[in-house]
């Protein structure tokens, strides 16, 4: 059940529609349905003529999208699956080719604000951070079972916590066992000099939480696996549109598009959100879109 007032604010909706939709009666797959904001926009833009498939591995968030969209249509097919299994989903539907794949990476507002998901340092909850509630690997495993070296590496790379990764990893290891998000926040706090904590524009634990979330969900490997599968399922002229929020995600997408001869890059430089959108939705600040077309 919904425990907060607003739906997730979908980012860069106009830009997604402009690049993803090549024909109203096409087949479009939203690989990261979340609360269904982009799907709603695609449905409206194509005047209900498109076939839309919504995939997400979080059944709680998928339920919200389904309920939200049921009010306007019952024609959308929702699947609780990872986008890494997109081939299985499409085969199951008997679909050989589609006209567009959309990926909007990162976390949804539901996951951040939902109860006991453990994604946020704003609430004291068990260390979880699973996007797939059926998975049995959680933030608890990363925080309590990884070596100091391995923790330091993911905090450095995935969190881009360049200067303090080692100190944070050491502090986590010395604070074990850690069971809750606030215990993790406190061990990050102990690792950072007060001056550094106050200097930061964002919460001082943001980067560490991001790193652990990426590790728990194997996010970067999943993106690579899914991208490799998309081209085979695209009609000529069909598109892959990816919204990323992390420089390493963006790098994966950029390199993939550049190195695939069956794809033509439509965005030489990534498309960024307008100042207006950033003002309205600060989460859009780090969003960037890259698009490629099947030739
Ligand atoms: N575009 C959505 C909207 O407008 O409401 C928001 C998407 S949200 C930023 C990202 C979603 O991707 C989350 O709901 C998350 O569960 C989902 N996700 C993350 N990894 C996934 C994966 N491997 N397969 C399918 N969905 C995934």
Question: Ligand 1 pocket: which residues have CB below 6 Å?
Answer: 8, 10, 31-32, 34-38, 55-58, 61, 82-84, 104, 106-108, 131, 217, 222
Q: Which one of 15, 34, 106 would you pick to mutate in the ligand 1 pocket, going by the greatest count of ligand atoms within 8 A of its CB?
A: 34
229-238 pLDDT per residue, tens: 999 999 999 9
pLDDT at 3: 47
The answer to whether residues 232 and 86 belong to one domain is yes
32 with 77, same domain: the answer is yes
Q: Are residues 255 and 193 in the same domain?
A: no
pLDDT score at 5: 54
Question: pLDDT tens for residues 121-177?
Answer: 999 999 999 999 999 999 999 999 999 999 999 999 999 999 999 999 999 999 999
Which of 32, 62, 111 for mutating ligand 1's site (highest number of atoms within 8 Å of CB)?
A: 32
**CATH no. for residue 239?**
3.40.50.150
| Rounded-to-10 torsion of CA 160, 101, 86, 109 | 50
The residue ranges of DSSP E strands in 165-276, in sequence order, are 234-244, 263-265
CA proximity to 229, closest of 251, 258, 256, 268: 256
Q: Do residues 208 and 267 both lie within one domain?
A: no
The answer as to whether 7 is a domain residue is no
pLDDT of residue 109: 86
Residue 2 lies in a domain: no
In a domain, 247, yes or no: yes
Beta carbons of 105 and 223 less than 8 angstroms apart:
yes
In a domain, 8, yes or no: no
Peptide bond between residue 177 and the one before it cis (omega within 30 degrees of 0): yes
106 and 122, same domain (yes or no): no
Residue among 257, 225, 222 at smallest CA distance from 240: 257
Average pLDDT over residues 80-84: 97
Answer whether residue 180 is part of any domain.
yes
pLDDT tens per residue across span 4-56: 457 789 999 999 999 999 999 999 999 999 999 999 999 999 999 999 999 99
Predicted pLDDT at 286: 93
Q: Answer whether residue 246 is part of any domain.
A: yes
pLDDT of residue 1: 43
Q: Which atom of ligand 1 is nearest to the CA of 36?
A: 5
Q: Is residue 205 over pLDDT 50? A: yes
DSSP one-letter code for 286 = G
> Would you say 245 and 287 are in contact if contact means Cβ atoms under 8 Å apart?
yes
The residue range of the domain holding 235 is 13-110+223-294
Q: How far is the CA of 107 from the centre of ligand 1 (A)?
A: 6
Q: Which of 197, 217, 237 is the last residue of a domain?
A: 217
Q: Domain for residue 242, yes or no?
A: yes
Mean pLDDT confidence for 71-88:
95
For residues 29 and 44, give the distance between their C-alpha atoms in angstroms, rounded to a whole number: 15
| Residue 80 neighbours by CB under 8 Å, 6+ apart | 56, 57, 58, 59, 62
pLDDT attached to residue 51: 97
Task: Kindly report the average pLDDT of the chain as a whole number.
Answer: 95
Per the structure, the count of domains in the chain is 2
From the CA of 34, how far away is ligand 1's center (Å)? Answer: 5
Whether residue 177 is found in the same domain as residue 213: yes
C-alpha 152/C-alpha 231 separation (Å) is 36
Residues 208, 128 within the same domain: yes
Say if residue 192 is in the same domain as residue 242: no
């Amino acid at each position: 059940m919904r425990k907060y007032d607003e739906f997730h604010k979908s980012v860069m909706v106009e830009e997604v529609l402009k690049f993803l939709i090549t024909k109203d009666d096409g087949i479009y797959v939203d690989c990261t349905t979340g609360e269904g904001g982009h799907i709603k926009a695609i449905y409206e833009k194509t005047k209900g003529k498109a076939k839309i498939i919504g995939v997400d591995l979080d059944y709680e968030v998928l339920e919200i999208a389904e309920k939200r969209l049921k009010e306007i249509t019952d024609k959308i097919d929702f699947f609780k699956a990872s986008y890494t299994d997109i081939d299985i989903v499409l085969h199951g539907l008997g679909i050989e080719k589609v006209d567009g794949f959309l990926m909007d990476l990162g976390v949804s507002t539901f996951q951040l604000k939902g109860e006991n998901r453990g994604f946020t340092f704003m609430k004291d909850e068990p260390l979880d951070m699973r996007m797939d509630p059926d998975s049995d690997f959680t933030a608890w495993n990363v925080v309590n079972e990884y070596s100091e070296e391995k923790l330091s590496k993911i905090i450095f790379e995935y969190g881009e916590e360049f200067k303090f990764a080692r100190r944070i990893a050491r502090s986590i290891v010395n604070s074990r066992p850690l069971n809750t998000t606030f215990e993790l926040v406190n061990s990050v706090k102990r690792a950072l000099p007060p001056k550094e904590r106050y200097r930061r524009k964002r919460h001082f634990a943001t980067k560490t939480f991001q790193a652990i979330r990426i590790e728990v969900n194997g996010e970067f490997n999943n993106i690579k696996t899914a991208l490799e599968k998309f081209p085979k399922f695209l009609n000529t002229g069909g598109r892959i549109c990816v919204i990323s929020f992390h420089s390493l995600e963006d790098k994966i997408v950029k390199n993939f598009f550049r190195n695939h001869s069956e794809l033509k890059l439509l965005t030489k430089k990534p498309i960024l959100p307008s100042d207006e959108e950033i003002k309205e939705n600060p989460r859009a600040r780090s969003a960037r879109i890259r698009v490629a077309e099947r030739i």
